């Protein structure tokens, strides 16, 4: 019996063809065989063809720049990359416009907690993603006070009066130094 087998298989399937006592293993993709005798075709599911790196965590200061580089590899055919960002812990995601590669440049970052997600998709709609957790810390006393109050509210702890008074003294001292420098500058100008 002369059997001609010519079939395009989706990448999500792997095939082994038994040919007259032997077998011919075919890799995912386009499979073609021309055999004589009995032919057995068996299919099995193949895991997602992507390998994604581990999630990463970064902490930077307000106004700094950061470049995120993903390490998602694999996929079949043309692979596309898209970046998304969430500022609410992953409940809502926004597409980062004009970001289509494995790297993303972040400029002049604002205070907050962000999750950036790199999503890779191949020609068969297999996908993989990698997350980047970015904490942007503020500079200055006001940010420290706001963070202390926020943490106390979250945990139910109370703020010690001495701590609040200490912060107020430091803030008043800084304001006094600034006022003194302004006065000195005016006197020099006379």
Quick one: pLDDT band at residue 51, thresholds 50, 70, 90? confident
Residue 130: Cβ-neighbour burial (10 angstroms; 0-12, 13-18, 19+)? buried
Model pLDDT, residue 80: 94
Residue 1: band (very low, low, confident or very high) from pLDDT cuts 50, 70, 90: very low
What pairing do the DSSP bridges indicate for beta strands 22-26 and 50-51? unpaired
Residue 49 banded pLDDT, cuts 50, 70, 90? confident
Percent of the chain with pLDDT over 70: 48
pLDDT at 79: 93
**What is the predicted pLDDT for the residue at 2?**
44
CATH number of 50-137: 2.60.40.10
Query: Which residue would you say has higher pLDDT here, 98 or 3?
Result: 98
pLDDT at 171: 53
Q: Which whole number is the average pLDDT over 4-23?
A: 40
* Whole-Å CA distances, 170 to 40, 86, 160: 82, 35, 16
pLDDT at residue 54, rounded to an integer: 87
Whole-prediction pTM value?
A: 0.53
* Secondary structure (3-state) at 187: helix
How does pLDDT run across 125-183, given as a tens digit for each residue? 899 999 999 999 998 555 556 666 666 666 666 666 555 555 554 455 555 555 565 66
What are the residues whose beta carbons fall under 8 Å from the beta carbon of 12, sequence distance 6 or more? 28, 45, 46, 124, 126
What is the Cα gyration radius of the chain? 30
8 Å CB contact between 131 and 83? no
| β-strand partners of 18 | 23, 40
Task: Decide if pLDDT at 58 tops 80.
Answer: yes
């Amino acid at each position: 019996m002369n059997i001609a087998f010519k079939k395009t298989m989706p990448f999500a399937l792997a095939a082994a063809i038994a040919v007259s006592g032997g077998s011919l293993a075919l890799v995912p993709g386009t499979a073609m065989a021309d055999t004589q005798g009995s032919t057995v075709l068996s299919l099995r599911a193949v895991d997602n063809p992507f390998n994604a790196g581990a999630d990463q965590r970064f902490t930077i200061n307000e106004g700094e720049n950061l470049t995120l580089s993903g390490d998602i590899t694999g996929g079949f055919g043309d692979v596309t990359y898209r970046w998304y960002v969430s500022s609410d812990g992953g409940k809502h995601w926004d597409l980062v416009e004009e970001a289509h590669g494995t790297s993303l440049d972040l400029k002049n970052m604002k205070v907050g907690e962000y999750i950036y997600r790199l999503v890779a998709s191949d020609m068969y709609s297999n996908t993989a993603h990698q997350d980047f957790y970015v904490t942007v810390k503020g500079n200055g006393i006001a940010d420290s006070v706001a963070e202390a109050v926020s943490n106390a509210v979250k945990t139910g702890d109370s703020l010690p009066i001495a701590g609040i008074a200490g912060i107020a003294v430091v803030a008043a001292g800084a304001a006094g130094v600034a006022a003194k420098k302004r006065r000195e500058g005016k006197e020099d100008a006379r």
